[in-house]
Amino acid sequence: MPSSVLHDQIPHSLLFPDQPLYFLPPRVFGCTCFVHILTPGQDKLSAKAMKCLFLGYSRLQKGYRCYSLETHQYFISADVTFFEDSPFFSTTSESLPVSEVLPLPLSPQLMSCLLDHFRFIIVALVSLLLSLLLRHLLTHFLSFDFTCPALPSPNDLPIAIRKGTRSDTMLRERKKKP
C-alpha cells in the first residue's frame, strides 16, 4: 500500500526503482496462446488449457488479455503459454477465382463526347465555387460597421462613474428624527 511516510509510494518502488511492479515480458500481438484453466472440480482427463488469441496486456491487473473464439470469452491471466511463431489466423488464404473484366471498346466519337461532358462539369463546378466565394466575401465585408459607436447615455454608466452631487433633503430628514 502507498504510504504518506514514503511520499505516496510503495516499498517495492523505493527498493527497486528500475524494476516495474508487475513484470510481464513483451509478446507478439495476435499470436496463438494457451490460457491455463485452473477451475476446481475438473477431472484429470479434462482440458487444462484453452486456445486463445493474444490481445494485449491488462491495465487493471497483472496478466495478459486473451480471447477464445470457441467460447467467445475474454481471459486475463498471467499463466499463459505463447506460440509466437504461429499466428492465430492462417496467413495463406484461398483466393476465390475473380472473373476477368474486359475493357469496353470506346470509339473516338464517344471519347470526345465524354471529354466535353467532363469539361462542362468542371467549368460548372469552378463557376459555382467562385460565385459562392464571392458571395461569402461580399457578405463578410459588407456586414462590417464602419461608423463610430455612439457614446452611452449617462444612465447606462455604472454608478461609480455617474456619481454626482448629493441632495441634502435626505440628510435633513434623518437629522430631524432623533
Hey, what's the cell of 35? 490460457
What local confidence, expressed as pLDDT, does residue 43 receive?
A: 83
What local confidence, expressed as pLDDT, does residue 163 receive?
A: 55
CA 16 to chain centre: 35
User: Does this model's pTM top 0.75?
Assistant: no
* Domain boundaries along the sequence of the chain: 11-87, 108-142
CATH topology of domain 11-87: SH3 type barrels. (2.30.30)
Segment 27-44, tens digit of pLDDT:
778 889 999 988 888 888
pLDDT tier at 10, thresholds 50, 70, 90: confident
Rounded Cα distance between 72 and 164, Å, is: 82
Segment 160-172, tens digit of pLDDT:
654 555 555 555 5
Phi-psi region of 63 (alpha: psi -120 to 50; beta: other; left: phi over 0): left
- Residue type (1 letter), 83: F
Residue 79 CB coordination number (10 Å): 13
Q: Cβ contacts of residue 81 below 8 Å, gap of 6+?
A: 33, 34, 36, 49
What is the gyration radius of the CA atoms in the chain, in angstroms?
A: 40
- Name the residue with cell 464571392: 134
Segment 124-140, tens digit of pLDDT:
888 888 888 888 777 76
Distance, first Cα to last Cα, the chain: 72
What local confidence, expressed as pLDDT, does residue 20 receive?
A: 66
What local confidence, expressed as pLDDT, does residue 33 receive?
A: 92
Hey, what's the cell of 2? 502507498
What local confidence, expressed as pLDDT, does residue 97 receive?
A: 62
Rounded Cα distance between 57 and 73, Å, is: 16
Q: Cβ contacts of residue 101 below 8 Å, gap of 6+?
A: none
13 in helix, strand or coil? Answer: helix
Segment 59-93, tens digit of pLDDT:
778 888 999 989 999 999 889 998 888 777 776 65
Lowest mean pLDDT among 106-115, 120-129, 156-165: 156-165
